[in-house]
Structures are given as C-alpha cells and as structure tokens.
Amino acid sequence: MKKIVRKLNSPIKGQIKIPADKSISHRAVIFASLAKGKSIIKNFSAGKDPLSSLEICKKLGVNAELKNDLIINSDGKFTPAKTPLDCGNSGTTMRFFTGILAGQNFNSVLTGDESLSKRPMKRVIDPLTLMGADIQGKSGFAPLQIFGKKLNGIEYKCPLSSAQVKSSILLAGLQAEGKTVFHEPFLSRNHTEKMLEFMGANIQTRNCTTIIEKSELSPCTFEICGDISSAAYFMVMSAIVPNSDIILENVGLNPTRTGILEVLKLMGADFEILDKKELCKEPSGDIRIKFSNLKGVTIEGDLIPKLIDEIPVIAVLATQAEGKTVIKDAQDLRNKESDRIKCTVTELKKLGANIEETQDGMIIYGKTTLKGGCEVETYQDHRLAMSLFCAGLICEKEISINGFDWVNISFPEFEKIFETIFSD
C-alpha cells in the first residue's frame, strides 16, 4: 500500500492513548501459556507480531480466547504441533520459541517470512547447543528444525546486548537441570526477568547478570502498558512540527526502554512526565511533549539497547536538531527487520537530509529543511514506515511511502490515532 504524506501546516494537539507494548504482549501470552491454570491478559497488542506468538501457543495445544481481554487456559505444558510453526515477521517469536522448544520432549519446526528467514539465529543456536539442544537450520537461518532434548544449565557470556537472546536462554534455563547464568555487556530490556519473577520463577538479577533455575510458573492477571516504541513516533512529531503540544497516555517507562527520553532531554526537548504508576511491576505514565528547539547529540554505549528500535525515528528528529548527531555502537541495527542503518540513511537522503552511514551507526547534520517530493521505500520494515511518515510531515513537498501497511506489524492503530491529533 502506498501512503501519501503531506506537510502539516498547523500543529498537532490533543491527548492520545498509546496501544499495548509489543514486547510485553509477546511475553505475557507465551509465559501465561507455560503456567498451569487460567491467566487473564488485559490490553493485549493487536500487532501482527504478538498475534504470531498467540497463534503458535494455540498450535502447541494452549486454549486461548481473544475478546476484550486475552484469556489463556493452559495445562502448563505444550503438546506437539501437527504443522510447522509460523513466526511471520517476528524475531521475538522465533528466538523465544527456539529456547522453549529446545527443551520439550517432542520435535518442532519454526518458519518465518522472507525478512525473518534472513535474520541471524546463530546467536541463540550457539548457547542453546551448549545447553544440550539440537537445532538444525540452514547455516543459522530459519526454517529451524528443533529436536527436543533434556537441557543443562550453563554460564554464558553473551557478546551482544540482546533481550531476545537473553530471553531465549532464560526460557531454556527455566526447564534445564542446574543453574543458568547469563551475562550481557549492557543491560537490554528486562521485561522477561520482571514477568518471570512476577509469575514465581526462581530468578535473580544483578546489573548485567541474570540467574535462573528450573521453575513452575503461576498463572496471573496482567495489564499491559502502552508501548514507548510506538509513542516515540508521536513524541518526535510533536517535537518537530511547529507549535505542537500533545499528551501521550499510558506509556511504559521501564528504564531499560526510555533511551528516547534521555535523548530528547539531551537535545533540549520540552517534555514532562505526568501521573506515574506501576502495572504488574512495569512503570508507566503520561508524557506531555511540545515543539522544541533541538541540538545535536552523541548516542552510544549503554544507551543503545535502551532505544534500539527508536533509532530510525531519532534520525528523523536529528535532522531538525542544530549541529551534529552521532549514533554509534549500533551495528546490530543491520540485523533487524531491514538493515536499519543503510535503509534509514538511504531514504532520509532522498528527502534531503544531510546524513551519512557509518559501520556502526550514522551521522546526521542539522538543522535541514527536508525537501521531499519523491517516493520512499519501507523495505518491509514497520519502523521505517512510521519514521518516514514523521519525516513526511515536515517535508516541503508531499512524499509517497511504498509498503506503508507494514505498520500493522507493531502498530495497526497508527493512522487512526494520528487523525485524532491533526487539524489541517
């Protein structure tokens, strides 16, 4: 689907509710399926990715009904699926289920779409193999054939900070004999650790180390907060469209995810957090953000995992900041739904941004007037689609975004919500 986006000639104003966090939704449905009994999940994401996780749980014998709430009734264990399990576009689904299915007493096959079949799975296969798993894939890529085995705990020093890898190993550790100790260089999002603890797992965390032992999970009622990664598009719109002022309700504020707020603060953006609360161990609140004069910053090191999914839209923001913005230590962005370094730089250049690609990130020189007046590509990547939409709102001439419907992967409500805050 092609989407035409035109320059906004008036500010965005209003108050919007941000839909459910994608990462927490995956965890809620998968972990509830591993717990014996009835779990109730309130505010489950409507994104295609979490729905892929839900469909797989059903194919593995779990009784799940999605109405307003998602109700899970599980025996606390999975049964073999009759057909391959399709993870769609979702890296989280594939990596989590690889860890879980490696320790079952049956065999499974995990498949994915074109993009997911090109994403590296060796990062989970290697440590799982050390635990005793037997996983076969074409040189570390999907489809993955998983031969269920008894697993042993290991101590593993992960070379990258990835919550998907960490979660895969912890989920294998939940079924393994002995302790599993996982170290990561910088702390990645810790929703798995928090939710497993909430459900009674034997898990401890200290700085960048997590220790887990074999445990039974208890069923729970969860309420999922809004997704800060989805909120990021609206934060950026409000910061770059003159005179804007919006309130984003119910945004998850877990410190392992709030890198975007740290960047906005460093850039000098005008925002405040209102009405903080906690939902099932996850902090959340409302964010008020206004149009701001911004300055360039350097984004690197331990900040990167806290904003990994926001980098394409931060690049858009940086085109409107005075001076140089440098993003480094982000080489893993090349392994996302697209090569997000190359694709972000290529497409923003088409719009007139002064931006260059580096091996582990990008450099953006601002402030630039984006000219637009062209077609841009999403590379089947939802985050590229929404970032380019934000850029289109400040381009002098209209732009046409090819493949805009990829937004449905994480944020099907995106356009509807946008329509409530603009008054052109």
**Between residues 232 and 395, which has the closer beta carbon with respect to ligand S3P?**
232
Rg (Cα) of the chain, in Å, rounded?
21
The answer to whether 100 and 62 are in contact (CB under 8 A) is: no
Q: What is the DSSP string of 197-255?
A: HHTT-EEEEETTEEEEE--PPPP-EEEPPB-HHHHHHHHHHHHHSTT-EEEEEEEE--T
Least CB distance to ligand S3P at residue 342 (A) = 17
What's the rounded Cα separation, in Å, for the pair 418 and 413?
A: 9
340 interacts with ligand S3P by CB under 6 A: no
93 interacts with ligand S3P by CB under 6 A: no
What's the rounded Cα separation, in Å, for the pair 324 and 338?
A: 25
**Between residues 33 and 167, which has the closer beta carbon with respect to ligand S3P?**
167
What's the rounded Cα separation, in Å, for the pair 287 and 233?
A: 13
Least CB distance to ligand S3P at residue 402 (A) = 22
Annotated catalytic residue: which of 309, 332, 360, 405?
Answer: 309
Candidate ranges 131-139, 163-171, 204-212, 315-323; the one touching ligand S3P (CB under 6 A): 163-171
Query: For this structure, is 424 an active site residue?
Result: no
Least CB distance to ligand S3P at residue 41 (A) = 16
Candidate ranges 114-122, 160-168, 360-368, 411-419; the one touching ligand S3P (CB under 6 A): 160-168
Out of 308, 313, 376, 393, the residue judged to bind ligand S3P by CB under 6 A: 308
309 interacts with ligand S3P by CB under 6 A: yes
Contact track, ligand S3P, 175-204, x by CB under 6 A: -------------xx---------------
Residues sharing a CB contact under 8 Å with residue 47, sequence separation 6 or more, in sequence order: 22, 25, 408, 409, 410, 411, 412
Q: Return the residue matching tokens 């939704």.
A: 25
The answer to whether 345 and 357 are in contact (CB under 8 A) is: yes
**Between residues 294 and 327, which has the closer beta carbon with respect to ligand S3P?**
327
Helix (H, G, I), strand (E, B) or coil at 305: helix
In 3D space, the residue among 108, 97, 100 whose CA is nearest the CA of residue 147 turns out to be: 108
Out of 92, 93, 210, 319, the residue judged to bind ligand S3P by CB under 6 A: 92
**Between residues 296 and 305, which has the closer beta carbon with respect to ligand S3P?**
305
333 interacts with ligand S3P by CB under 6 A: no
162 interacts with ligand S3P by CB under 6 A: yes
In 3D space, the residue among 366, 377, 352, 298 whose CA is nearest the CA of residue 330 turns out to be: 298
**Between residues 163 and 395, which has the closer beta carbon with respect to ligand S3P?**
163
Q: How many residues bind ligand S3P (CB under 6 A)?
A: 12
Contact track, ligand S3P, 25-54, x by CB under 6 A: -x----------------------------
257 interacts with ligand S3P by CB under 6 A: no
**Eight-state DSSP code of residue 420:** T
Out of 98, 164, 175, 230, the residue judged to bind ligand S3P by CB under 6 A: 164
**Between residues 236 and 246, which has the closer beta carbon with respect to ligand S3P?**
236
In 3D space, the residue among 101, 97, 133, 128 whose CA is nearest the CA of residue 112 turns out to be: 97
**Between residues 188 and 258, which has the closer beta carbon with respect to ligand S3P?**
188
Residue 204, beta-bridge partner list = 211
Cα 305 → chain centroid: 11
Burial readout 355-383 (b: 16 or more C-beta within 10 A, e: otherwise): bebeebbbbbbbbbebebeeebbbbbbbb
C-beta neighbour count of 397 within 10 angstroms: 14
Residue numbers 52-81 binding ligand S3P by CB under 6 A: none
355 interacts with ligand S3P by CB under 6 A: no
Is residue 386 within a helix (H) or strand (E), and if so which, with residue range? helix 382-392
Residue nearest to ligand S3P (CB): 23
Out of 16, 23, 70, 153, the residue judged to bind ligand S3P by CB under 6 A: 23
**Between residues 332 and 413, which has the closer beta carbon with respect to ligand S3P?**
332
Residue 306, beta-bridge partner list = none
163 interacts with ligand S3P by CB under 6 A: yes
Residues carrying an active site annotation: 309
Which residues form the interface with ligand S3P (CB under 6 A)? 23, 26, 92, 162-164, 167, 188-189, 308-309, 332
